[in-house]
Amino acid sequence: MPVQLAHQLRNLGRYRQILSVLIKYGFADFVRHTGLSAVVSRSLGIFGNRGRSEAEFIQQSRETRLRLAIEELGPTFIKLGQVLSTRRDLVPDEVAEEFARLQSDCPVVPFDQIKAQLEREFPGRVDEIFQSIEEMPIAAASMAQAHRATLADGQKVVLKILRPGIEDILSSDMEILQFIAGVVEDYFENVGFDPIAVAEEFSRELKREVDLMQEGRSTDNLRAAFSDDPSIDFPKVYWQATTKRVLCLQEIEAELLANIGPDTFSQEIRTKIVENGSRAVFRMTLEMGFFHADPHPGNIFARPDGGIIFIDCGMVGHVDHETRLHIAELVYGVTRNDADEVMNCALALAEMDPDKIDIRRARSDVQQMVDQFIGVEMDRIDLGQVLDDFFQTLRRYGLQCPPDVVLLIKAMSTIEGVGAKLDPSFDMVTFAHPYIAKLLKDRYSPKAIARRVKIASESYLRAAEKLPSDITAIMRKIRRNELKFDFELRRIEELIETVESATDNVAHSLLISAIVIASAILVHSAPSDTISLLGTLGVIGFLTASLMGFSLMFKSWRHRRASRMMVKRARKRRK
């Protein structure tokens, strides 16, 4: 508790700034309702002025105002918005769409600070490693800044350097975000997402973002995976100039897709670019299970021959073989109009207990979705769109799409958008068909079925081999009177606490009543014309009873508030 209090005091200035911005953009009611104003009570004299400025934003939607507030709050919150724009399993669609518009351009860090950062990472070796480093950055984002440089051997590279002090800023802001998430969780119902889950997922994402060694390893792995395909490449990582805070990559001499114009490439080359991008994404997601999760035009370079190079592998996804097989089963169930098969696949993907959702209503909604594909051939099914529509349908039942499947859907949808921009005539669905067919073959071919039967048989055989020894162990414990059964009575501690609190309240009430009665007797017995010991003791008794009464009322209020929060959390768990 003292450590937590110290953290809150340390961040008090940042709390004031955040709440001031929220009030500025029309969220004063939120600050008042949650009681967060107590954290910054001195600075909230601005309620009178800033609260009135809400009229300036009343014509804008809540999502737009939230985006504007996030942009003003700086790097951590901008990154939060960008992450959430890809996580429609965590936030409503309208919020995700608005956050996709967030601008990540940030002020440039002066080069002397960048040079000092490099000196800290390579003590006394900067001049040995680099011939030169350009002072003007080629990009300045919320977490890092990029500079062109030349290695000692003359190799042209790009340095991605974390902003100095960004880790301390992120740590401080994450403590605040987790605190605010807890407040939102306690005070608001039906906000459309799980605030604590959002904060936890964002914390994990940030840890990956600020470890450039991890991004370097991901880049190296993907580069090695496509070493057999000359049309798809990833930049080389120069590890002698790479640390946790500095990533050194081969400089790409090609056209960034985000910058190409309508006449930059011929139609034939454009089609090749889309084919290569689509092949790369479908191979990564459906065959390898390790993929670049953000293949937008700003992260893809195109060569004059139509070859492509992916950059910025900070956001990657992992989909294991079992998950890919469940995706195949889901597609197969859609093509066969089998809602039960589709529902079972969803529950397996989300690792959800069927007893915790209204399975009948959920199956009915799934059936309506599946009915849309009656008569549609498998080679006309858009896998990314099917998965997205499916999990959006089931989200209302508390069934959340696994994070890496969300990234898989995002990667597919993003590359489809790239294809639509470069070559609108390109048939992405038909192009993806061989990869989906291979998944189905891996799941339903006679060879695959025989392999699963073999694995299941071996599992049953091992269980049968252990059965005699297990039975012997159980019988031995029965003979020795050592067989025990453990029962867990859920929430019994909370019941005990409630009973103890009620008992304490009754005891205190009886004590207060006894003091009041005794004080009344003393006052009644005291002479009325002079100050006496009896009268003084009686008055002291009344004052003591009053203080105890107020204390009991405050304690009861706190306990009722805690009980309401406890019931709310229990309802949420049952959902």
| Confidence bin at 50 (pLDDT 50/70/90) | very low
Q: Classify residue 491: in a domain, yes or no.
A: no
- Measured over the CA atoms of residue 533, residue 535, residue 536 and residue 541, the dihedral's sign is positive
Same domain, 137 and 91: no
Long-range contacts formed by 62-66: CB under 8 A, 24+ apart: 62/26, 63/94, 63/95, 63/97, 63/98, 64/98, 65/25, 65/26, 65/27, 66/25, 66/27, 66/95, 66/98
Domain shared by 379 and 329, yes or no: yes
pLDDT at 251 over 90: yes
Q: Which of 220, 251, 282 is the last residue of a domain?
A: 251
Among the three residues 251, 283, 310, which one is the final residue of a domain in this structure? 251
What is the residue range of 218's domain? 105-175+209-251
Residues 418 and 528 in one domain: no
Site of tokens 């799934």: 366
> Angle, nearest 10°, between helix axes 492-525 and 533-574?
160
Q: Are residues 292 and 401 in the same domain?
A: yes
Tell whether 472 is covered by a domain. Answer: no
In a domain, 466, yes or no: no
**CA 193 distance to own-chain centroid:** 11
- N residues, the chain: 575
Is 58 contained in some domain? Answer: yes
pLDDT at 47: 45
In this predicted structure, the answer to whether residue 48 has a pLDDT above a threshold of 60 is: no
Rg of the chain's alpha carbons, rounded to an integer?
Answer: 32
Residue 526 has pLDDT above 70, yes or no: yes
The pLDDT tens digits of the residues spanning 361-411 come to 777 877 777 777 666 665 566 666 677 777 677 677 766 667 777 788 778
pLDDT value, residue 186: 66
Percent of the chain clearing pLDDT 70 (strictly above): 77
Query: How sure is the predictor about 540, in pLDDT bands with cuts at 50, 70 and 90?
Result: confident
Of the candidates 355, 406, 400, 353, the one whose C-alpha atom is nearest the C-alpha of residue 384 is 406
The first and second tokens of residue 311, run together, are 């950059």
Regarding predicted confidence, which is higher, 408 or 59?
408
Q: Does residue 234 share a domain with residue 123? A: yes
Can you give the pLDDT at residue 355? 65
Query: Which amino acid type is present at position 214?
Result: Q
The two most distant CA atoms of the chain are separated, in Å, by: 112
Q: For the chain, what percent of residues have pLDDT higher than 90?
A: 22
Number of domains observed in the structure of the chain: 4
257, pLDDT greater than 60: yes
Higher-confidence position of 90 and 122: 122
Query: 242 versus 86: which is more confidently predicted?
Result: 242
What is the pTM (predicted TM-score) of this model?
0.69
Query: How confident is the model over 287-314, as a mean pLDDT?
Result: 91
> Is residue 162 classed as helix, strand or coil in its secondary structure?
strand
What's the CATH code of the domain at 152? 3.30.200
Indicate the pLDDT class of residue 77, thresholds 50, 70 and 90: confident
One domain for residues 124 and 136: yes
Choose between 83 and 246: higher pLDDT.
Answer: 246
Verify that 308 and 232 share a domain, yes or no: no
- Answer whether 313's CB lies under 8 Å from 329's CB: no
135 with 218, same domain: the answer is yes
- At residue 158, the pLDDT reads 96
Q: Taking 90 as the threshold, does the pLDDT of residue 223 lie above it? A: yes
- Asked if residue 521 has pLDDT above 80, the reply is yes
Of 311, 315, 285, 99, give the one whose Cα is nearest residue 207.
Answer: 315
- Looking at the structure, tell me whether residues 277 and 232 fall in a common domain: no
Structure tokens that stand for 106 in this block = 């940030």
Considering the domain architecture, whether residues 438 and 534 belong to the same structural domain is answered as no
> Could you give the CA distance from residue 126 to residue 151 in angstroms, rounded to a whole number?
10
Q: What are 184-205's pLDDT values in tens digits?
A: 766 655 555 567 766 776 777 7
359: helix, coil or strand? helix
CA angle 312, 170, 300 (to 5 degrees): 10
Q: Using H for helix, E for strand and C for coil, what is the string for 524-563?
A: HHCCCCCCCHHHHHHHHHHHHHHHHHHHHHHHHHHHHHHH
> CB-based contacts of 327: which residues, under 8 Å, 6+ apart?
286, 319, 345, 349, 383, 387, 405, 439
Q: How far is 277 from 259, CA to CA, in rounded Å?
A: 17
Same-domain check for residues 342 and 361: yes
Burial of 390 (0-12, 13-18, 19+ CB in 10 A): buried
Is 473 a member of any domain? no
Query: Cα(20)–Cα(41) distance, rounded to whole angstroms?
Result: 11
Instruction: Write down the pLDDT at residue 384.
Output: 66
Of 41-55, 374-388, 406-420, 498-512, least confident by mean pLDDT is: 41-55
Q: Which helix (H) or strand (E) holds 497?
A: helix 492-525
451 within some domain: no
180 and 308 both lie in a single domain? no
Extended beta strands in 420-511, E state? none
Task: Give the model confidence (pLDDT) of 122-166 as tens digits.
Answer: 999 999 999 999 999 998 887 889 999 999 999 999 999 998 888
Q: For residue range 14-36, what is the model confidence (pLDDT) as tens digits?
A: 777 887 888 888 777 666 665 55
d(CA 374, CA 236): 47
Distance between CA atoms of residues 237 and 313, nearest Å: 11
In a domain, 20, yes or no: yes
Give me the pLDDT at residue 354, please.
Answer: 65
User: Where does a domain end: 444, 461, 480?
Assistant: 444
Of the ranges 190-194, 353-357, 459-463, the best mean pLDDT one: 459-463
Q: What pLDDT is recorded for position 274? A: 93
- What are the structure tokens assigned to 442, written together? 């891996």
In a domain, 486, yes or no: no
Residue 283 has phi, psi (to 5 degrees) of -70, -40
